[in-house]
Structure 1
């Protein structure tokens, strides 16, 4: 085995090669301040994955958990104000966006792309809104052959959905000429109207290894607890939901017995940036394998359906949050990525605004959107003739 073979077979080398190339690509200015930013490692990973390079499966869950824990601990300072300010609104977004997705999917399956594989097109629903629980809910109710087609549709739709939400969060503020600093001030003013101080009075520490580990352990437990939904079955919050909720709650409380969980934002931000680049690189590498071949085999219909599902759901969330409820962008972006159930979109939104407080809105929206996706996936299977 040559040195090159050894390197290309090393998950660590492949991961950080994607990070290195992607971060360099993300810094390129394409004019008017448009940059791919944090999406760079995602695209670099897609290319490397397409070329046949891989990383161990465990990398995805690990980098995701570390990223979400850091984001949640930073956002915990503002969670009380976010809940009091827009709690019910976030629940509304969590229902609206999946509703748009399932309605569009029904139209694609029964009218627009009626000649395509039904199972394949149905997969565009959970795929475009990047919901693995939605995938699981659907395939449980489908015959084996249809379930296989659904999984393929979900896989293609997932990549499309990730690219759409990431690029939207990166480009929308730039294209619209948004004043991010002004949006941050609006966010702070709105939160300060309902909260006098940021949570319990607990002194911060620079960093606590045991506190960070506690968040990950508690979050993993929370994410693994089955939640019964009667005839629909069981769902779990998964790594994203469990760790984020643990980080927000424990970070807000600040201390659990002798363990301090409230840490300085500076070092948490560095951890967040580092793990974010790794997480998106891993996502790209995993998604890039066989993507072109799958699209070539099953046609562009699934790509179009998935893209429209994602785009129109995002636009629905945008109209409601920005133009009807007139939210600041920090709250709105969190609600939109939460309604899209997408951690990659959360990462892109944080990177584009340099505001970890977006995670507070995401944390309020995500659990309810996850529930809506699970219910709608079952409903879609029930109403669409196979």
Structure 2
């Protein structure tokens, strides 16, 4: 039996497994309370994708008598889009179901305050990126859109942006992947450090804020008598197919944007939020065990990010030296000012409890590392109330803005 090493190493599933495993190992490394977690697969995927394509695929470009397994990669990319879309749908559906449990509490207790805090964060970031591109025409418009999503640490936004430019070409997708990869680390670092620094800069009395929070929570109760099930495949798949349909509906957004659809990512997210909040329709129960949903989310997120790295590794690494430094600076400015704006709006305009506000800022950034830092900073898990309340609205907002940014750029 002859073992074909090249065919083995270029198999899409082997590439995914190698990227995810190595990424998770790197993601466990913690430096000054900062670690990249599941996103490690994105960066190991970039390196593995670049190396494998350069060594085993690139020599065959434009050649003849190309082996079948190499030709498939030349035609479909390192990882076929079908695998990418399947993993994407599973990830988004689990996120929507997990976030749906906080929708009722937000509407009942806080009204639109948390929504506006989240909006101030994501709008500020989008505005900064748009202005930067307007005055610096040398920026690649797609890489700037990727920086926006990376700086605000939003994987579903990355999915929506990639999907929205899929008809433009692989180069546009690669530039979005480049921008995200460059912007993600500054985004994680800034939100994590902000949770430590903001209470000091703005002199928050943590003990006083905790007493206020406990008083507010005692006043607000939400009844939920619906039993949770472990997991129901039928209900989960129903969300996937309904969301995919909803994502294709085109909505008129005015003469500038014209028609806009949420795409598969946005549609599945909305379906998960709505049905998860409703809870049960006929024989289908959408309230599922959060531990199982979190396992699906973590697995699919790790695979999704690894696929993104593998698909765009070669293009990203070969072009990052061109304008990588400027994109990195843009990401730092974008994430810093966005978080600061959200804090000012929440604290000084809406007078939101400081503990809940820190969680809301992490939710606006959809940042789990930031949430962990906030919990450590104030020595309390109460910040999760603000995180869960803001998270779903921030997700939807980022998906919309990630689509709108490049639409505004290209007309």
**TM-score bucket (shorter structure):** 0.7 to 0.9
Of residues 82, 94, 97, the one that matches 1:58 is 82
Query: Do the aligned partners of 1:79 and 1:252 also contact (CA within 8 Å) in 2?
Result: yes
Deviations 1:57-82 (A, max 9, x none): 22332222212222222232222112
2:13 aligned residue: 12
Alpha-carbon contact 1:67-1:271 (below 8 Å) kept: yes
On the 8 A contact 2:190/2:332 being kept in 1, the answer is no
C-alpha deviation, 1:214, in angstroms: 1.0
Which stretches in structure 2 are left out of the alignment for 5+ residues?
A: 54-77, 150-156, 201-206, 376-380
Residue 317 of structure 1: CA displacement?
3.3
Check if 1:28 corresponds to 2:50: no
Structure 1 position 217 matched with structure 2 position 247 = no
Q: CA deviation at 1:362?
A: 2.7
TM-score normalised by structure 2 residue count: 0.70
What's 1:245 paired with? 270
Q: Does 1:312 align with 2:325?
A: no
CA contact (8 A) 1:105 1:121 kept: no
Residue number among 222, 228, 232 corresponding to 1:196 in the alignment: 222
- Equivalences for 1:304-343 in 2 at 5 Å? 304-321=329-346, 325=352, 326=354, 327-337=356-366
Q: What TM-score do you get using the length of structure 1 for normalisation?
A: 0.74
Deviation at 1:206, TM superposition (A): 1.7
Point out the structure with max Rg over C-alpha: 2
Q: Where does residue 37 of structure 1 map in the other structure?
A: 37
1:127 maps to 2:127: no
- Greater mean deviation of Cα atoms: 74-83 or 89-98: 89-98
The answer for the alignment partner of 1:286 in structure 2 is 311
Structure 1 residue 159 corresponds to structure 2 residue 181? yes
Partner of 1:340: none
**Structure 2 CA distance for aligned equivalents of residues 49 and 23 of structure 1:** 16
Aligned-pair distance for 1:8? 1.5
Structure 2 Cα separation of the partners of residues 287 and 173 of structure 1: 32
1:376 Cα shift?
5.9
Q: What count of residue pairs does the alignment treat as equivalent?
A: 358
1:122–1:88 Cα change, 3 Å? same
Residue number in structure 2 paired with 1:277: 302
Q: How does 1:98-137 map to 2 (within 5 A)?
A: 98-105=122-129, 107-109=131-133, 113=136, 118=137, 120-123=139-142, 125-130=144-149
1:81–1:191 contact (8 Å) kept in structure 2: no
Partner of 1:361: 390
For 1:98 and 1:18, locate their aligned partners in 2 and report how far apart those are by CA, in whole Å.
Answer: 30
CA contact (8 A) 1:69 1:216 kept: yes
For 1:259-308, what per-residue CA distance to the aligned partner results, in whole angstroms no more than 9, with x for missing partners? 22222222222222222221222222233222122233456434433553
1:114-164 per-position Cα deviation (integer Å, ceiling 9, x unaligned): xxxx26354454232236777999999xxx9xx999887655323323343
Does structure 1 retain, via aligned residues, the 8 Å contact 2:191–2:335? no
- Match among 80, 88, 97 for residue 112 of structure 2: 88
Q: Secondary structure at the match of 2:365?
A: helix
In 2, distance between residues paired with 1:359 and 1:26?
A: 23
Unaligned runs of 5+ in 1: 338-344
Between the aligned partners of 1:40 and 1:67, the Cα distance in structure 2 is 17
